[in-house]
A = this chain, B = another copy of it.
């Protein structure tokens, strides 16, 4: 690895349950870096051509947000595809019948190492699913979700990119 791939020094300034924040010293100056465990997210389409979204409160922006199902890599050793299948079931009560990797994305590499593994899935209802209380499942025609991306009603970046990428695969 080249010498520039690591900071001269780093000091941890916060260690939470989810995040760790470090101030790193680089030749170009200091960088405030938020370490995040990463996440999986899934564009789940039903056989009817609907997409499964979830609506939930996102405290950080004080808003209820419409998103594709997603979850943090918080189970040791779980691979990204398994995470996507699990989160889809937990959040929407649907099972992924087919799963395809869409993209690895970095949400905001200027300050965080968070990466999301985006998937495309064919989903069908699971009979034994209970669902999470904190999220509301929103099922709508895929084309309608694309319109919401274009007219600004969907503003969550992973959801926008996921839906737009999925359009070219379907």
Chain A contacts to B: CB under 8 angstroms: 4-7, 13-14, 16-19, 21, 23-24, 26, 28, 30-34, 36, 39, 57-63, 65, 70, 72, 103-116, 134, 149-150, 152, 155-158, 160-161, 164-165, 168
Contact A18 to B6, CB < 8 A, known contacts A103-B160, A109-B156: no
Q: Is A161's CB under 8 angstroms from B168's CB?
A: no
How far is it, in angstroms, between the C-alpha of A81 and the C-alpha of B151 when the chains are bound?
19
Tell me the minimal C-beta distance from A148 to chain B in angstroms. Answer: 11
Q: Is A157's CB under 8 angstroms from B161's CB?
A: yes
How far is it, in angstroms, between the C-alpha of A17 and the C-alpha of B165 when the chains are bound?
35
How far is it, in angstroms, between the C-alpha of A130 and the C-alpha of B116 when the chains are bound?
36
Closest residue of chain B to A160 (Cβ to Cβ) is: B161
Q: Is A108's CB under 8 angstroms from B31's CB?
A: no
Contact A18 to B61, CB < 8 A, known contacts A105-B160, A152-B104, A165-B150: no
Closest residue of chain B to A5 (Cβ to Cβ) is: B62
How far is it, in angstroms, between the C-alpha of A157 and the C-alpha of B165 when the chains are bound?
12
Q: Is A57's CB under 8 angstroms from B4's CB?
A: yes
Contacts of A160 in B (CB 8 A): 103, 105, 161, 164-165
The 8 Å CB contact of A60, one of B16, B31, B59, B61, is: B31
Contacts of A155 in B (CB 8 A): 103-106, 115
Tell me the minimal C-beta distance from A164 to chain B in angstroms. Answer: 4
Contacts of A111 in B (CB 8 A): 18-19, 34, 36, 60, 114
Closest residue of chain B to A7 (Cβ to Cβ) is: B59
Contacts of A107 in B (CB 8 A): 107-108, 157
Q: Is A16's CB under 8 angstroms from B17's CB?
A: no
